[in-house]
Amino acid sequence: MNFLLINFFLISLLLVTTFFIFKTTSLISVVALTGAFTLLCSAIYVNLDAVDVAFTEAAVGSGISTILMVMAAAKLPEGKKNKLINLFPSIILAVAISLILIIIISNLPLLGDPNAPIHLHVVPEYLKESKDFFHIPNVVTNILASYRGFDTLGETIVIFTAGLGVIALLTSNTLNRKTNFKKNKKNER
């Protein structure tokens, strides 16, 4: 009962936040509200007992992303307000996607159902084996780093590549400017 009440409360807060994200016109407020949105999401994950996911969501989603979005918003020109655009196509698209999602939800297994497909495939094996073999209590870490080591290697490389991409896009000009500066200095001599 408590679980349902907390979930209901958090999800209604999510709806309120979404409404204000939609309504507000200032960029910084949108960024702040998005941060609040992801923080609420991580609270929902804690309520669902997925602490690892909640931790990641809180650190990455509402922490670093918000900072980066604030930096990006600060670089944009101020004072421009969104003109009233034709909302009709977006509303139709949103309603269609929500309908599809609602239909899918009715086909999903119930929350915590022990006979759900995800709990029958490899998870029982992992849970049984990792306790005796690894002596590491956090099964999530075992799966992430050992059973699914290749996936995590891929994720790390994705983050690395993303960093490389941003560096190449945003700082190449700065470096060029510095080398030009050095060249100019040499020419002056």
Partner 1 sequence: MRDKISSSPVLSVVSKILFAPIIIFGLYVQFHGDYGPGGGFQAGVIVAAAFILYSMIFGLSKGETLVPIMINRYLMCTGVLLYAGVGIVSIFLDGMYLDYNVLSSDPSTGQHIGIILVELGVGITVATVMIALYHSFASFGEINE
Residues that bind partner 1 (CB under 8 A): 51-52, 54-56, 59-60, 63-64, 67-68, 71-72, 75, 133-138, 140-142, 144-146, 149-150, 152-153, 155-157, 159-160, 162-164, 166-167, 169-171, 173-174, 177
| Cβ 8 vs Cβ 44: under 8 Å | no
- Backbone torsions φ then ψ of 131, nearest 5 degrees: -65, -45
Cβ distance to partner 1 smaller for residue 123 or 145: 145
Cβ distance to partner 1 smaller for residue 4 or 169: 169
Cβ distance to partner 1 smaller for residue 24 or 171: 171
In whole angstroms, the minimum distance from the beta carbon of 89 to partner 1 comes to: 32
In whole angstroms, the minimum distance from the beta carbon of 57 to partner 1 comes to: 10
| Cβ 33 vs Cβ 24: under 8 Å | yes
Rounded to 10 degrees, what is the CA torsion of 5, 9, 14, 15? 100
User: Which amino acid appears at position 98 of this protein?
Assistant: S
In whole angstroms, the minimum distance from the beta carbon of 29 to partner 1 comes to: 19
Cβ distance to partner 1 smaller for residue 12 or 56: 56
**Which stretches of 24-148 are DSSP H helices?**
27-47, 51-56, 65-75, 88-107, 117-120, 123-133, 139-142
In whole angstroms, the minimum distance from the beta carbon of 161 to partner 1 comes to: 9
In whole angstroms, the minimum distance from the beta carbon of 73 to partner 1 comes to: 10
| Cβ 9 vs Cβ 40: under 8 Å | no
Cβ distance to partner 1 smaller for residue 26 or 171: 171
- Backbone torsions φ then ψ of 145, nearest 5 degrees: -95, -25
